[in-house]
Amino acid sequence: MTENNAAITLKPLISQVEIKQRVRELAKEISRDYAGANRDLVVVGILKGAWIFLADLVRELTVPAKIDFMTVSSYGASTKSLGVVKIILDLKCSIAGKDVLVVEDIIDTGLTLKYIIENLSLRHPRSLKLCVLLDKPARRQVKIEPDYRGFVVPDCFVVGYGVDFAERFRHLPYIGYIEEIKE
């Protein structure tokens, strides 16, 4: 693939079939954990990367859930997290006293998600859990672990199924990785 004279080589990592099966399994776990008459679940999708994963996940849930979104930024057009997190779009609903499940595409350094979790915990939810499609523990800089994890991935730059590189490759129905970028 080329754009602006840069050639990017992509290699497959996780197939569309594997993703679909794992999303079903995660939804079953989450549904089991949040079953009960007095639960008020709010699923918070972190945009833009998590929207495809979130849509597929909530369609598989068997418990009622409200959905809200946040947009944060820490990468820009780089392949490395800048370590500075900015909230671009905040939640529209109050999460005080509610069970909150944050859904994110990938946990890498953990800096962004640590910030999000700390920020949301100040809003006094009943519970606060984290669900990620992809976990890249080799790059973790802070102590944070997801409660629900789709796949552990190696230390490479992954794209597809909502995950992007400079706003590209989100549309891929599978997870791949960028093998090389030639300018």
Stretch among 12-26, 27-41, 51-65 having the lowest mean pLDDT: 27-41
Burial of 21 (0-12, 13-18, 19+ CB in 10 A): exposed
Which CATH number do you get for residue 58? 3.40.50.2020
pLDDT number for residue 6: 67
The structural domain count of the chain equals 1
108 in active site? yes
Q: Is residue 112 part of a domain?
A: yes
Per-residue DSSP letters for 50-101?
THHHHHHHHHH-SS--EEEEEEEES-TTSSS--S--EEEE--SS--TTSEEE
Domain boundaries, position 139: 16-155
pTM to 2 decimal places: 0.89
Rounded-to-integer distance, Cα 75 and Cα 72, Å: 9
pLDDT number for residue 16: 97
pLDDT number for residue 115: 92
Locate 106 and state its tokens. 């990938």
Q: Is residue 48 part of a domain?
A: yes
Q: Is residue 83 part of a domain?
A: yes
* Percentage with pLDDT > 90 across the chain: 73
Q: Is residue 172 part of a domain?
A: no
Distant-in-sequence, close-in-space partners of 127: CB < 8 Å, separation ≥ 6: 99, 100
Place of tokens 């679909």: 20
Instruction: Using the CB atoms, write b or e for 161-171: b if 16+ within 10 Å.
Output: bbbbbeeebbe
Give the end-to-end CA distance of the chain in Å, rounded to a whole number: 12
Q: Is residue 103 part of a domain?
A: yes
Whether residue 137 has pLDDT greater than 60: yes
Strand 127-135 and strand 6-14: the pairing is unpaired
Q: Is residue 87 part of a domain?
A: yes
Q: Is residue 10 part of a domain?
A: no
Mean pLDDT over 93-109 rounds to: 95
Q: Which one of 56, 99, 105, 108 is the catalytic residue? A: 108
Q: Is residue 128 part of a domain?
A: yes
